[in-house]
Each structure stands twice: as structure tokens, then as C-alpha cells.
Amino acid sequence: MSEVKRFRIFGEIVKPRLFAPMRFAKEVTATKLSHAIERIYADLGSRHRAKRHEIRILRVEEIEPPEEAPGREGDERPKE
């Protein structure tokens, strides 16, 4: 089974009627970088009605998974 990775993607949406580009930074989980970029295109296209040629991806970072807090395994709480 493939390992799921987290990516932080920075970019901008350039539409013809906007004076300045809309900048974005989004975190996405995917197995490959190409899948993460595809998810960005799909998400921003549906939310902002942006075509793929209007979305510019400026930078992509792979994020390390957050470490578990000690003593939080199962997070069992006492029953009353």
C-alpha cells in the first residue's frame, strides 16, 4: 500500500478581470505530487471557477507528518 504524504502548495489565480492575482496556500494529502497538484486544480476550479491555465503553482513543499503527543495513545477517558 502507498504511503500518504502531505503537501503544502503555494500559488495564485490570475483571472482577466482581476487587478491583482489571488494568492493561496493549501495543504493537501495525496500519495504522489502529481495527485496533489490535480487536487488543487480541481478544488480551486470548483470554488473560484478558475480554469487550469489561470492557476499558477509557484512552490510545493512536502510536510513531515506531525509527531504524536506523548501519552495520547487511544486518548482513553474515564467513564463516569
CATH code for the domain in which residue 49 is found: 3.10.20.10
Mean pLDDT for the chain overall: 87
In a domain, 69, yes or no: no
Our count of domains for the chain comes to: 1
- Residue 2 confidence class, pLDDT cut points 50, 70, 90: confident
Mean pLDDT of 38-59: 95
Structural domain range at position 32? 5-63
pLDDT of residue 26: 96
In a domain, 75, yes or no: no
* Three-state SS sequence of the chain: CCCCEEEEEEEEECCCCCCCCEEEEEEEEECCHHHHHHHHHHHHHHHHCCCHHHEEEEEEEEECCCCCCCCCCCCCCCCC
In a domain, 30, yes or no: yes
pLDDT at 69 over 60: no
In a domain, 26, yes or no: yes
In a domain, 34, yes or no: yes
